[in-house]
Structures are given as C-alpha cells and as structure tokens.
Amino acid sequence: MSDIANSPALEQVAPIAPDTTGQGTAVQSKPWKGNQKWAFRIAFIFFVIMSIPTSWNWYTHLFTMDWIHLKYRDVYDIARFQPNLWNVDSESGRWGIASYASWAAALGIAVAGAVIWSLFDRKRLEYNLLYYWLRVIVRYRAGIGIIGFGYTKLFPVQMPYPSISNLHTDFGDFTAQKIYWLSIGIVPWYQVFAGIVEVGAGILLFFRGTAAIGAVLLAGALANITFVNLAYDGGVHVYAAYFVLLGAFVLAYDIPRIYNLLVLERYTVPVHYYPSFSRAWQKYGRWILKCGTFLLFVFILFYLQMWNYLYDPYKQPVEKGLAGTRGYYNVTEFRLNNKVIPYSPLDSVRWQNVTFEKWSTITYQVNKPVWLDLSNGGGSPKNDIDRNFELAGVAGGRRFFYYEADTVKQQLSLRDKNRSASNQGRERQRRNATDRPNTTKKKDPPFVLHYERPTDTRIILSGLNQNKDSIYVILDKVDKQYLLSPSKLEAGQY
C-alpha cells in the first residue's frame, strides 16, 4: 500500500481543466513506476475480494428477504460479511494466526491475478481511475460494515448485562472471553460510547472529504478490539482486524500529505483525482446509490436496531419468564425416584441451586461436567432456544434450559440449551452472516415438570427429568443483594 500511496498521481500539484472525455477530472498525471503498478494490481484484486460477499447464501438472502417488512437481522446480515475462502480446523484456526487463512488465500489469488493482468496490460502508464473506484468500494464496504457493527453497541445488546446465573457462577468457571464480555456488559455507557465511535467512523467514510478522519477512527478503534479478542480468545479478532485493514488502505491515500504537513511542516494542498460525472444518468445514478445506501444503513438500520433493543435483543431470549419467579433459589429438598438425596457439593445428581431469569430460562447447578460452549454467543439466531450468550463460556456444571410455561396446567416444558449449543458446535463461529443454523424444528423432545407456588418465595417442581427419572424439588428463594449496580440500560421488555 505504501507504493500505491506514493504514486505520482498523488503528488501535490495544481489541478488543470476538466477532462472533456468524461473519464475524469485530470491532474498532472505522471507515469507510475513498475513496482507501483505491480502493487496496485495485487491490491486491487485483493481488496475487491475482501470487499464483496463470497457466500452464495448472502445473495440468496439479499434477493429473498421481505423488503416491505424489514427486520433488524435482514439489514444486519447484508452489512455483516467477510471473505470465507479457507478455514483451518485447529485451535490456531479458531483463535490464532491460522484464523487469517482466508486472507492468505485472497492474497494468493491476487498475486496470481496480478501476474496474468501484467501479461495483458504492460503498456498501461497509470491506474488513477481504477484506484479511485477501488477506494470507493473499500470506503463503502468499511462504512456499511462498521455501522452495522457499531449499532449493536450504540444500543447495547452485543455485550448484555450479566444474567442471574452468571452472577452466581464462580469466577474460575468463566472462560477468558466471557470475563471480558461481562466486564463490558456491566458498564453499558462505555459500550454506547464505543458504538458512537464506530458509527461515526462509518458515516465519515461515506464522504471523500472526511474519509481520512473516518479511517483513523476505524483503524484505531478496531485495532484495540482486535488485540482484546486475541488476548481473551473472543473470536472477533479476524472481523475486527478486517476493518483495521480496510481503514489502513483508505488512509494510505492521504499519508503522503499528512506526513508532508505534520512531519515536514510544509505547505500542503490536497489534490484529489475523481471522475467527472457529466452525464445526467451518471449524476442521478450516483446520488441515488449514495442516498439509498445512507438511508438504508444509517437511518433505517438505526430504527430497526432501536426496535431490536427495545423488543428483541438478539442475544437474550424474548419470551418472558414465569411471572414473579426471577431470582436465585436454594434447593431445600431433592428427591430422585422418591428417594431423598441430602445436600452435598460433590453429589453428581442432586441440584445445588436454581435460577429463574426474567426471560424464559431456568438453570440448575450440579457437580457434573457439561459441554462447554466456546463461542461468544453471537450469530443473532431467531429462536430463543438458540440464543446462547448466557451459557457461552460458562463451566461449573450449570445446565441451561429454555422453557414454555402453561399457567393453566401449571406445567413447564423444558428444552436443553446446552445440547442445542453443542449440536451447533464450532461451526457457529465460522458461518457467514446468513449461514445461521436453522433450528426451528426442535429436535430434542422437552421434559415436563409440574410446578406449585405455595408462597411467593417457594416453588415446588415435580415430574420426570430428561432421563425419565421421577424428581421432586423444593426451591426457596434467596433475597440476594448484589454489589453491582443494576443496569440503567436494559434491553427487552419483560
């Protein structure tokens, strides 16, 4: 990129009369050097690959979604993509350097393409026009993507406030990723600030005059996120570094002038090469595309994300929990097949404690290992049972269940969320925006428990568990006061 940034077309020269051919507004273009042309050919192919969707599912989603009744996920799935050319099935392929394998594949294709390009285009003196359009592509790709990413922080749903079950999980039973995400979740206004920076950077990238400022904000903010995710195994390091790369490319265009002004302290006149849109269809077409993009990804997505925050936060289940049950419960009595099992922290069958969330999740803890979900709880699934943020990165033998309550029959139909997460496995982290697993068909049959509420603080559960054993459980609510202040920005309506 440094070779391209130092190309003769970017030298500080005075503009001359517009080009009457309609190809562009001319500057005193000098022939590019051989290494600059080589660098540009590689960069052009590489950044085009990096900036366009490579999954057929993205295009299927684009042409089949309901544009009249847009949902947050519809627009977000258009904005959220990255090249997915090569996946390495290893620990490094998930959290380490091998996770950037798709970048290496794109670079390999770019080098091969540049060789072929050079064979057929040896006499070309410069690539000013192509360089302009490449910057446009990268600017808009970066702007659209980071706005979609930033809105999940501006309306703080990306890193929710800790659930009750999380508040009662031992610190050592969290993965590093979970610790970091929860630490951001307890300070939602910091998350909002990060969202303002990201959305602001995206908007600035839509305009030539402010693109450099937007690129600086983008690269700076996302570099921090990249390093944090590498340190905490957060799983977003590739996507964050993707925006750092795009921002650095956009900024490269202005680096010579910035260096000339700030380091050498010389008088600097910005000179930009841009096409002349002299024909009516070019002028109107340009404004229609620009205004349409701005309308969809700035204003419409803002409204959809606000609605999502208020009524359908994508990482929390939407269904309300059983009224008046939210809280932490001690297991006062536990019977298995009509046999009382006394409390023991070492018992692998007896429940130790139970939590009811304000949404339709119930958890219990038992001294028995469960499958550990190593994802970050993302993916924006539509079904409550698939929303796994509360259990992602949580060990310690805690089991998570989605439930449906029949208040007439006083029954709870429970489905195992741990098993749902394990079925999706590691592929959850590798899927593109529209490659979410479809688990609308609930494969695992529920087990049904009858509930009684003799008092406001006592719940009695009875029935058959998932192993078809008879259980009878008495739960007593604990009036627990937490040191953490309740969040003033609560997503969802419960």
**Contact between 192 and 156 (Cβ < 8 Å):** yes
- Which whole number is the average pLDDT over 376-381? 82
pLDDT in tens, 107-129: 999 999 999 999 998 888 889 99
Q: Where are the domains of the chain?
A: 2-311, 327-478
Please, which pLDDT band fits residue 3 given cuts at 50, 70 and 90? low
The residues near 485 (Cβ < 8 Å, ≥ 6 apart) are: none
pLDDT in tens, 264-302: 889 988 777 778 888 888 888 889 999 999 999 999 999
Task: Point out the least confidently predicted range of 79-88, 208-217, 236-245, 246-255.
Answer: 79-88
For residues 272 and 12, what is the distance between their CA atoms, to the nearest angstrom? 9
Give the pLDDT confidence score for residue 438 in this predicted structure: 41
Q: Specify the residue for token string 């517009």.
A: 18
Q: And the tokens for 76?
A: 């977000």
Residue 52 identity: I
**CATH class of domain segment(s) 327-478:** mainly beta
**pLDDT surpassing 70 at residue 358:** yes
The residues near 334 (Cβ < 8 Å, ≥ 6 apart) are: 340, 341, 343, 350, 351, 471, 472, 473, 474
- The packing angle between helices 176-185 and 211-232, to 10°, is 130
Name which of 393, 341, 388, 331 is nearest 365 in CA terms. Answer: 331
Structure-model confidence comparison of residues 354 and 13, the more confident one: 354
Query: What is the number of alpha carbons within 13 Å of residue 112 lying toward its C-beta?
Result: 6
- Which whole number is the average pLDDT over 408-431? 70
Q: And the tokens for 461?
A: 């559960």
Question: Which H helix or E strand runs over 192?
Answer: helix 188-205
The residues near 285 (Cβ < 8 Å, ≥ 6 apart) are: none
Give the pLDDT confidence score for residue 429 in this predicted structure: 42
**pLDDT surpassing 50 at residue 451:** yes
**CB neighbours of residue 80 within 10 Å:** 20
Structure-model confidence comparison of residues 96 and 124, the more confident one: 124
Question: Which H helix or E strand runs over 311?
Answer: helix 301-311
Give the pLDDT confidence score for residue 440 in this predicted structure: 41
The residues near 117 (Cβ < 8 Å, ≥ 6 apart) are: 41, 45
Say if pTM beats, i.e. exceeds, 0.95: no
Name which of 395, 400, 411, 494 is nearest 449 in CA terms. Answer: 411
For 114, counting Cβ atoms within 10 Å of its Cβ (0-12 exposed, 13-18 middle, 19+ buried), the class is buried
Mean pLDDT across the chain, nearest whole number? 87
Q: What is the CA radius of gyration of the chain?
A: 27
- Which whole number is the average pLDDT over 307-312? 94
Please, which pLDDT band fits residue 12 given cuts at 50, 70 and 90? very low
**pLDDT surpassing 60 at residue 422:** no
- Which whole number is the average pLDDT over 45-74? 93
Give the pLDDT confidence score for residue 389 in this predicted structure: 93
**Contact between 50 and 246 (Cβ < 8 Å):** yes
**pLDDT surpassing 70 at residue 18:** no
Give the pLDDT confidence score for residue 130 in this predicted structure: 94
Task: Point out the least confidently predicted range of 176-190, 231-245, 376-390, 430-444.
Answer: 430-444
**pLDDT surpassing 50 at residue 10:** no
pLDDT in tens, 326-349: 999 999 999 999 999 999 999 999
The residues near 455 (Cβ < 8 Å, ≥ 6 apart) are: none
Q: And the tokens for 21?
A: 């051919």
Give the pLDDT confidence score for residue 137 in this predicted structure: 96
